[in-house]
Amino acid sequence: MLRLIAAASLLVATASSAAALTITGTAEVIDSDLLVIDGYRVYLLGVESVEAQQLCTIGTQAWECYPAAVRQLQTIMSEGVATCEVISGPNFLMEVIARCTVNGEDVGERLVRSGFALPVTAETEVYAEAFAAAQAAGVGFWQGTVTPPAEWRRANGILAGRPPFRPVAP
């Protein structure tokens, strides 16, 4: 019983201190929209990219767009140290949703503008212009077509996805 109370106290302390949590460090790209920094699994605020098994199409040809999306995120993250302001989390898996920058540039905006991510408007609408620009330029996924990742997961019976968005109190 004491362990349960101690664990609950730690969880509450972690959640309440998350309001001011900033994670800074070299990011390891582990998925097309997921980083690991200092032990935290960092999902980019307002951004989602394709799943590893997901295919895109150009005309009638399928192409493996996931490796291209991962390379794009690796390229962005290789330009410097990441600074991520936690907006949601951490949860018990050390997952957070955060707004990240590298050299002062918004990583999510760059990934969307390059055409290798879609905006998650339930979290933020700041990437609408970048999304429209990528589609108009026909870059990344927009060289052809892509099924939105959340829709693709549902259609393929995959229940796992982003952690729930629960903004921390300021």
Structural domain contains residue 11: no
Give the domain extent around 145: 21-155
As for how many domains the chain has, the answer is 1
Structural domain contains residue 81: yes
**Spatial separation of the C-alpha atoms in residues 109 and 151, rounded to whole Å:** 22
Structural domain contains residue 7: no
In this prediction, residue 165 carries a pLDDT of 83
CB burial of 69-97 (b: ≥16 within 10 Å; e: otherwise) equals: bbebbeebbeeeebbbebbbbbbeeebbb
**Spatial separation of the C-alpha atoms in residues 90 and 65, rounded to whole Å:** 30
Strands annotated E in 50-106: 56-58, 61-63, 82-88, 95-102, 105-106
Residue 75 has pLDDT above 70, yes or no: yes
In this prediction, residue 117 carries a pLDDT of 98
DSSP 8-state symbol, 116: S
- β partners of residue 95: 41
Structural domain contains residue 162: no
- The SS3 call for residue 51 is coil
Q: pLDDT tens, 82-140?
A: 999 999 999 999 999 999 999 999 999 999 999 999 999 999 999 999 999 999 999 99
Structural domain contains residue 133: yes
Domain CATH number, residue 76: 2.40.50.90
pLDDT-derived band at 167 (thresholds 50, 70, 90) equals confident
Structural domain contains residue 53: yes
- pTM, 2 dp: 0.85
Structural domain contains residue 167: no
Q: pLDDT tens, 13-69?
A: 344 444 479 999 999 999 999 999 999 999 999 999 999 999 999 999 999 999 999
